[in-house]
Structure 1
């Protein structure tokens, strides 16, 4: 697929079939009108949610409205993403968003009203046979009760919501719109303006001078704004502390983990287990230095290619066949669903004019999931295909085994199925490879995923933990303090044998994730859980596969930690992270022997 087609030129077999979701515009309009009517009906329950019969009817209607809303929203946005320049679907997407806000507002009375009941009344509701299906919903409401305030205080906190978004919004504006980077020289010696997008390309350059210049220019630009950005990040931390104290949580960290019912020890265990494995990371850095034939390894050398670009041309058909072959350990049932997705147009395959970039899996309960790709015939796209189909099959198995209310899995679990598929694909490719150059290319690809997803995200998570604790103890988050903490963590994670350039102390200033606090650790835990599953599946076979499929079918029917534990991955211990690290060690040893 060389030239980029217009949307109406894309052949049917390369497009997803959205008629499986909603039959077209007329059907969408009809369902939209239906939701508008149902929203009026839900208001009838206001002030009446004290007995099991009313609560049951209210929950049933809530589910009905939510499901229709989800279908309308997903369809409108999938259509919009096919060609984002099409005004008809821009309008439909906006219309679905407005309806979603209306629906959420109309149903917002349900939880506070039930929670206003006495503890005794709530316990009676949980024990009520009539509400047995909703027992988990009610128990979750009761768990949250100590952190829900009175009506006036909740109203006040809701109004603070717009203020609370300010640090993230200000950082976004500064980072994406106002910061201007200098020009740097590219490989051809031409002056090119440095941008966020080009920065990574420059760091991946085989030319060391290009990398160094881009690295120094990037951080010098942030250093000029260090006072403003430190004030913005500090305001975000202050906001988190304000909410945690207002809602009576012991700390900002514990508040952020509460929603998923995850103990603080899961977070600290991750950091402890990675600290234990840092000698392996340091060994990898030393190997990188040797392979790059450098006297000293600098921070700007971390993304440079270790082996010359190994061209793997993989057509979409070949990618599908390889992915299917690599997922054989998961058994025939899994492969059948995968094939169904390939055959029945779940996937929108190639780029077209106006199509949203990137890749994702999305859908609505009651129909199969959809996958958006922008496939290129390379290794990366093959990994993207197996990654997104991992999400899709997780959703499919959750939706077909759970009722609507309990089908949706949490973000904590979301990356496990996708990353597991990648681990099995990598294992398959490494076992099959006979060319040392290809093998080294694959190993580098996988090792860098460990480095960026497990080590680097854990370092970010540790930085967030330290700065929140300091602020909770009354320390001021000055640019000097933030830079010192960040620099020291880099020395710890990358090792003393590496030159940890002074400029890196400003990296905290360019990480947008720090405004979505205590989120990044989920990348590291998800990757570790997936690696642990893959290891068990490859070592044990059938029993491990059964446990894993049980995990995929669980949706959100229990708390994330419990779902994983039942499947054989106990994230409340350090075991899965240690299993992940033993895979990392094995890959490192393979690389070291190839490098001899």
Structure 2
């Protein structure tokens, strides 16, 4: 009988392939001491209540105490969340994370008075205080951003109630996370060698790339059996989450949840709608790529599970983790020696949790705050896609590193809108590196195919998600019930519209919404698409070898939140208030589609 391959337990993973969270807190005693100190900070901070606006000095003192408290809290939170993510089945880590979530809610409730009290100050008063106290001037942009919220801040009591209920309001996302990462059990499937393997979130993506159609079909069908089985529960969690977004937006006086979400990054709704308009205009390019896939694969019917397998079959571009590290250094060398030294530090200092284990959170991310390393979570598989994932997440981590080492704490983070730009710039640099170094036409075709698939997944697919997310909130706001059947009907039709008539709209794909964690992130996904498009221009700037353009890009990585996101991007060389950067991205897509057609249809 063939032995079933199982994921290792956390304790079985080699230490060198795990992240070193002891760099944050060496032991539980140190963690507990940090919590105790935080609780004392809260007590001290409460003494400033009612005094924030008395003078320039009291404003400065209270503002600094508020930032210090936030700084301590985020360090505690990121530690607990990463401990939980490395093994979501571990009861000790679950309890730790739950404890910290409650702590965040309690602290947030106790300090919720601060922003309303600050915003009660007139702009004239704040301007006077800035002149009177020079030390306040380093917080000028922060105060501008905070004061912009003035029309949407509630009373002290209302803010405290909302803050205290933050863990309750976050319940739908937490429930989905537990179901998706810990409780769902997927069937055994066959890999390309005929071995029975336990299907998992991480393995699913690799199986969809298989050149064996039966392998990818079985993985596709058996994965969606689970999501279809729990479709009503998953529709309820998602609908409740959307309802919460709409409730808070209405409560705060926004026209929509979309407007509220984008306002948090000072992004006008026009940026979102321009993306959807440009993608809609360029859908014929996606349809053309889908038609090429159907033709090259020689299929009478192209199914959704046929959209990820390489058109050129297998190429000699599988990488072990060690090989991928070396390739990443070569691909990113164009960013300069200083950048590379920090990447090497990430590899040498165990900032990366590499392999999949039982209970580990699926997917990949970069996580870190001002006083921690910029950690990376992976679920490594030996393929090209994971090399891209490594380079992508390293883009996030280096963005974090350069920001935290060049900005004071108040500007030592960057808005989500800017985050995906750094990561996808790295992906673009890797693509160009591979096209330049791999001379075999079959390998070049493989890389072009991978780029086009990446564009499809990052621009077209994320725009599809963004359109679905917008529809979800509009439906709920108009009083429509978001049942599993309603969600599946709309999503299935939307999927057909995006991919066109060349692909069979499999019934399973209508439930794809049920497995996408990003629908719980509050209008997050559109930024993948805008980020990829902006990264196209930035990567071309870097590759031009113009020192001024490289400097402008590195300045962007160091800017953090010291200016408004769109202004940071303008200084880096991209105006995201216009559609030109999107049109440029589609031109690159078309150019590389032409190249691939030339190689495959000779």
TM-score calculated relative to the size of structure 2 = 0.83
Q: In the alignment, which residue of structure 2 is the partner of 1:113?
A: 117
Distance 1:501 1:402, change over 3 A: same
Q: 1:293 aligns with which of 298, 307, 318?
A: 298
Q: 1:519 aligns with which of 516, 524, 545?
A: 524
Q: Does residue 421 of the first structure (1) align with residue 426 of the second (2)?
A: yes
Q: 1:323 aligns with which of 300, 305, 328?
A: 328
Q: Does residue 45 of the first structure (1) align with residue 48 of the second (2)?
A: yes
Q: 1:537 aligns with which of 537, 542, 545?
A: 542
Q: In the alignment, which residue of structure 2 is the partner of 1:271?
A: 276
TM-score calculated relative to the size of structure 1 = 0.83
CA offsets per residue over residues 317-345 of structure 1, 9 Å max, x none?
A: 54333222211221233233334444555
Q: In the alignment, which residue of structure 2 is the partner of 1:256?
A: 261
Contact 2:459 2:528 in 1 (8 A): yes
Q: 1:555 aligns with which of 560, 565, 571?
A: 560
* Higher Rg of the two aligned structures: 1
Residues in 2 aligned to 1:321 and 1:310: alpha-carbon distance in whole angstroms: 19
Unaligned runs of 5+ in 2: none
Distance 1:186 1:364, change over 3 A: closer
Partner SS, residue 260 of structure 1: coil
Residues in 1 aligned to 2:280 and 2:232: alpha-carbon distance in whole angstroms: 31
Distance 1:547 1:289, change over 3 A: same
Residues in 2 aligned to 1:148 and 1:40: alpha-carbon distance in whole angstroms: 23
C-alpha deviation, 1:187, in angstroms: 7.7
Residues in 2 aligned to 1:559 and 1:457: alpha-carbon distance in whole angstroms: 24
Q: 2:474 aligns with which of 469, 473, 490?
A: 469
CA offsets per residue over residues 187-243 of structure 1, 9 Å max, x none?
A: 899999988677656654545456557656776876787777666655544443333
Unaligned runs of 5+ in 1: none
Residues in 1 aligned to 2:361 and 2:468: alpha-carbon distance in whole angstroms: 33
Q: 2:71 aligns with which of 67, 72, 75?
A: 67
Contact 2:231 2:484 in 1 (8 A): yes
Q: In the alignment, which residue of structure 1 is the partner of 2:60?
A: 56
Contact 1:351 1:373 in 2 (8 A): yes
Q: How does 1:406-417 map to 2 (within 5 A)?
A: 406-417=411-422
Distance 1:454 1:32, change over 3 A: same
Contact 1:126 1:139 in 2 (8 A): no
C-alpha deviation, 1:455, in angstroms: 0.6
C-alpha deviation, 1:249, in angstroms: 1.1
Residues in 1 aligned to 2:388 and 2:28: alpha-carbon distance in whole angstroms: 34
Q: 1:582 aligns with which of 567, 587, 590?
A: 587
Distance 1:83 1:286, change over 3 A: closer
Q: How does 1:313-352 map to 2 (within 5 A)?
A: 313-343=318-348, 346-347=351-352
Query: Alpha carbon RMSD of aligned pairs, Å?
Result: 4.3
**Higher mean displacement: 469-478 or 581-590:** 469-478
Residues in 2 aligned to 1:19 and 1:507: alpha-carbon distance in whole angstroms: 38
Residues in 2 aligned to 1:342 and 1:93: alpha-carbon distance in whole angstroms: 27
Distance 1:332 1:3, change over 3 A: farther
C-alpha deviation, 1:299, in angstroms: 2.9
**Higher mean displacement: 441-450 or 96-105:** 96-105
Residues in 2 aligned to 1:317 and 1:177: alpha-carbon distance in whole angstroms: 29
Distance 1:210 1:394, change over 3 A: closer
Residues in 2 aligned to 1:376 and 1:223: alpha-carbon distance in whole angstroms: 27
C-alpha deviation, 1:536, in angstroms: 2.1
**Higher mean displacement: 226-235 or 431-440:** 226-235
Residues in 2 aligned to 1:6 and 1:460: alpha-carbon distance in whole angstroms: 34
Aligned residue pairs total 595
Q: 2:143 aligns with which of 138, 143, 151?
A: 138
Partner SS, residue 458 of structure 2: helix
Q: Does residue 148 of the first structure (1) align with residue 153 of the second (2)?
A: yes
Contact 2:187 2:198 in 1 (8 A): yes
Contact 1:14 1:345 in 2 (8 A): yes
Residues in 1 aligned to 2:78 and 2:548: alpha-carbon distance in whole angstroms: 36
Distance 1:525 1:192, change over 3 A: same
Residues in 2 aligned to 1:198 and 1:285: alpha-carbon distance in whole angstroms: 24
Q: In the alignment, which residue of structure 2 is the partner of 1:460?
A: 465
C-alpha deviation, 1:96, in angstroms: 5.8
